[in-house]
Structure 1
């Protein structure tokens, strides 16, 4: 099934559920949440919290790398100096 068919089928199902009345609104919301979560999981989408955590790790790693590069440059300069 291609994506346009999936979305049109989803729209038809949503229309049928909505036409049944306001009593099923919570059921629709729950099913939509499950459907969307499943689609997001298949697309390997991460949560904002997980993204922020990875950004923090990357920033710490980058800072350590910059410190090590500076230390290496300093040691290299010392080795290059004539004694």
Structure 2
């Protein structure tokens, strides 16, 4: 999900754009705008930066293991070839 601080900033910017005569309702509007933004953004297919970083690390480790296994298989194949 998106950073809650960024959502607050967006909601605050929108509420500050409200004309001065309506500013008394700005806090309430800010809360409602924040809720609407969170709801609409939660419908989108996003992953958080944290989730992305974790999956990147998993992928790196998986690649390293795959490369090690490929080298091992290659060594075993060359041993079998030498024995034949």
Please give the TM-score of this superposition, normalised by the length of structure 1: 0.64
Question: Which ranges of structure 1 fall in alignment gaps of 5 or more residues?
Answer: 1-13
Matches of 2:33 and 2:27, distance apart in 1: 10
Pair 1:79–1:32, CA change in 2 (3 A)? farther
Equivalences, count: 68
- Please list the CA deviations of residues 23-71 of structure 1 after superposition, one character each: whole Å capped at 9, or x if unmatched: 624741x333333332232111011111101101111111111111111
Aligned to 2:26: 24
Question: Which ranges of structure 2 fall in alignment gaps of 5 or more residues?
Answer: 1-13
